[in-house]
Amino acid sequence: MIGTTIALEDGAPVFTPAQMGEALGLDPDALRVELRAGRVHGVVERGEGEDAGRTRATLRWRSLEVVVVLDETGRVLAFERRGDWRVRGFAPSPPGR
């Protein structure tokens, strides 16, 4: 797990490289390579109505999607990893294929 709290800046989560790498299952060097190549993406959504005060951050890398739900203080309420090809033993195609 990426810890129990994520820092917030103006209500948006700010993941440390260690938290992001752990969430995606990447070591620091691999994370840097993937970030520079533009293969890591993120989306932040703020809750409305009954979800007001909550924030959902979704990190995407290749087929992997990591969803983290936070309360208004940055405390992690939920963590889910979906579509991780490594669980099934598949490997991504080499670059350029």
Angle at CA of residue 33, ends 19 and 64, nearest 5°: 55
SS3 labels along 3-33: CCECEEECCEEECCHHHHHHHHCCCHHHHHH
Span 22-26, average pLDDT: 92
Confidence of residue 97 (pLDDT cuts 50, 70, 90): very low
Residue 58: which of 71, 48, 75, 46 has the closest Cα?
A: 46
C-alpha count within 13 angstroms, C-beta hemisphere, residue 86: 8
Distance of CA 49 to the CA centre of its chain: 24
What is the pTM assigned to this prediction? Answer: 0.81
Span 49-54, average pLDDT: 95
Decide if pLDDT at 13 tops 80: yes
Q: Where are the domains of the chain?
A: 7-82
Decide if pLDDT at 68 tops 60: yes
